[in-house]
Amino acid sequence: MRRTIAWCVPALVLIALSGSPAPAQSWTIELKNTADGPEVARSGMDDAGFNTVRAEHAGLKVACGPDVDCARVAVKILTGSGSVLLDLGTGSGALSVFTIPKSAATDSELALFYDGASTPLTKYLLAAGASSVIPVEPSPSGDGGGGTVTRPLAELLKAECRARGSARYSTKRNRGAIVVSPTGQVSEGRGVEKFDENDTLEVTVFGHKALLDQLKVRRKSPFGTGELRIVGEGLKIPVASGLSRQSGSDVCGTRTFTLNNFAPGRGEVEIAVHDGSGDTVLGTFEFKVNPLYFGIFSLGGVWTDMVDPEFKLVSDGADSILSAGNQGDNEFLYSVMFTPYIWGKRDLEKKTGWLRRINPTVGLVLDDVEDHGLVGLTFDLPRGFLVTAGKHYRKISVIDENSGLSEGDVFTGPVDQLPISDSWEDDSFVSVSIDLRVAVKMFASAFRGAGGGK
């Protein structure tokens, strides 16, 4: 019973304030106490999209439930980087009223803090929109045949217009296309399935012609949450009076915008309407932007014909014989290779012609970097596999040709006068390697498995 009475206090205060002057636009946030501290019980603000301040200011009412002290609630407007743009102060009593100025609502966040904590209880995105009433010029002819009139934005958004235009992607032109509604709902999105950072985006918006004339489409940065954001139900848009008399499909049309310079990762496009005195965001849409790569590092095995004989003295019981310590004709080594994409930066998500898959490669042998060099041509396969063939340059031990000795001869001199020297020689090699990123993940997974999943 006591808790019910306590909750009635904010409600009674709200009723009492309803007859007093207040901003035309207002939001209410109710706080409740929990075992972990205060949290939002109900909110009139949009926690996923923008909360647009349309007039010179908007009101905020914070109602505090039982065991929540409004005097310990601080309301602040933060910049995109998290610093304080404007401190609106702390509350008092069971209900506190704050004023949010439109001038502080551009690219900012409204945040509620409790008891001096550095982490806010909640945050809401703010935006500055135009006023809900837009002055228009009267028709010069007096019969409605010229000039402009106003139409509610909500009415223009409800126009039953069918999607027009095609979503396509051109690899040769590095250009993708997408078809969307004025609120950012994607109708045709196949043209951005292979989009990368050097591509140009064509955005075709379909809808009421009067609305299309006032639209702005722009690349948005930083990237947002990806949720559709729609505001402006109460706004009115100036349109040509002749167009306002049309009906049905006659009012529908399309408008195409061109955007570029998207960073890899998540691309976001914002659609806004200019209503005579400012821009109001209607919606956003997102798509994946693939990165471009200059080349690829790979890790793999090398099968080489360039073997170091490693000459040394071997006793046959009577004499010291000059003999090769390594008798094999081939050797297996591990290497790291770099393959630049000489045909141009590559989007790994796109199909690549076989000729563009042939690129030069240089490599190093892992256990002896200074005495080996690999140069060849690589053909890269799907799934990150690469096949390479080329020349293996290696510093090996050779018998001095001026000594007159050869392998198997008897050497009678002191060991420190062996006629052995180092020489850079070359021979053929072949290699199969794998994308270094994949290899690192494989090793990490194997070590976790060997460690019992720790």
H or E element, residue 171: none
The helix/strand/coil state of 422 is strand
Distance CA 233, CA 212 (A): 17
Closest among 213, 263, 259 to 240, alpha carbons compared: 213
For 184: left if phi > 0, alpha if psi spans -120 to 50, otherwise beta; the answer is left
Q: Decide: 179 and 271 in contact? Cβ < 8 Å.
A: no
Per-domain residue ranges of the chain: 2-128, 148-289, 295-450
Closest among 146, 137, 156 to 237, alpha carbons compared: 156
For residue 35, how many other CB atoms are within 10 A of its CB?
4
Per-residue pLDDT of the chain (454 residues; tens, 9 = 90+): 444 444 444 444 444 444 444 456 889 999 999 988 899 999 988 876 678 887 788 899 999 999 899 999 999 999 877 889 999 999 888 889 999 998 888 778 899 999 899 889 999 988 776 543 323 334 444 444 445 556 677 777 777 888 877 778 888 788 888 888 888 888 877 778 888 888 888 888 988 888 888 888 888 743 333 332 222 233 444 544 444 444 455 778 888 888 888 888 888 888 888 766 677 888 888 888 888 888 899 999 999 999 988 888 887 777 888 888 778 889 999 999 999 999 988 888 788 889 999 999 999 999 889 999 999 999 998 878 999 999 999 998 888 877 778 777 878 777 777 888 888 999 999 999 998 888 887 777 777 766 655 5
Q: Decide: 54 and 234 in contact? Cβ < 8 Å.
A: yes
CATH architecture of 2-128: Sandwich (2.60)
- SS3 of the chain: helix, strand, coil, percent, to 5: 15, 45, 40
The string of DSSP codes covering 57-124 is: EEEEEEEE-TT--GGGEEEEEEETTS-EEEEEEE--SSEEEEEEEGGG-SSEEEEEEETT-SS-SEEE
Q: pTM of this prediction?
A: 0.52
Contacts 24+ apart (CB under 8 A), 147-151: 147/241, 148/238, 148/239, 148/240, 148/241, 149/238, 149/239, 149/241, 149/244, 150/236, 150/237, 150/238, 150/239, 151/210, 151/236, 151/237, 151/239, 151/244
Q: Decide: 361 and 300 in contact? Cβ < 8 Å.
A: no
Distance CA 158, CA 323 (A): 91
Q: Which residues pair with 269 in a beta bridge?
A: 219, 285
Query: What would the two tokens of residue 173 be?
Result: 């032109």
Q: Specify the pairing of strand 295-304 against strand 331-340.
A: antiparallel
